[in-house]
């Protein structure tokens, strides 16, 4: 396995990007914070900071290897502000989900 190129500082910055809350539901993560790959590694996602967020274990398990935007919008607690926050940190997302940003 390759050594991760993600630094502790990058991870701390990412944590702050979402105010220490779960990136997917904006709730407190407590001790259950997990690092999720926006593009799942199973689908070729890379272990780089541009692909990493902190999520609660509930969201992380729910997302699993689903594609982010369709998964997010299908959730019962979906709110547009959740998506807008993700887009502000990951401005490349619309390029991956062109069908959802017409
Ligand atoms: Zn969550």
What is the tens place of the pLDDT at every residue in 77-93? 899 999 999 999 999 99
- Checking if the pLDDT of 4 tops 90, the result is no
Give me the torsion for CA of 6, 39, 25, 94, rounded to 10°. 110
Could you tell me if residue 17 is inside a domain?
Answer: yes
Task: Write the burial class of residue 100 (CB in 10 Å: 0-12 exposed, 13-18 middle, 19+ buried).
Answer: middle
The pTM of this model reads 0.91
* 31 confidence band (pLDDT: 50, 70, 90): confident
Q: Which residues are in the CB-under-5-Å shell of ion ligand 1?
A: 22, 24-25, 56, 59
Could you tell me if residue 46 is inside a domain?
Answer: yes
Nearest to 68 by CA among 88, 94, 89, 48: 94
What is the tens place of the pLDDT at every residue in 10-20? 999 999 999 99
Q: How many helices (H) and strands (E) in the chain?
A: 5, 2
Domain range holding 33? Answer: 8-100
Q: What is the CATH number of the domain that holds 71?
A: 1.10.30
Structural domain total, the chain: 1
**CA 83–ligand 1 middle distance (angstroms):** 13
């Amino acid at each position: 396995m390759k050594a991760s190129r993600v630094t502790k500082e990058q991870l701390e910055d990412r944590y702050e990007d979402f105010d220490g809350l779960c990136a997917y539901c904006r709730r407190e993560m407590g001790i259950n914070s997990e690092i999720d790959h926006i593009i799942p590694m199973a689908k070729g996602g890379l272990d780089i900071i541009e692909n990493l967020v902190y999520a609660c274990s509930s969201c992380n398990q729910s997302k699993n290897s689903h594609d982010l935007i369709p998964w997010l919008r299908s959730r019962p607690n979906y709110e547009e502000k959740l998506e807008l926050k993700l887009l502000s940190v990951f401005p490349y997302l619309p390029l991956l989900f062109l069908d959802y940003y017409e």
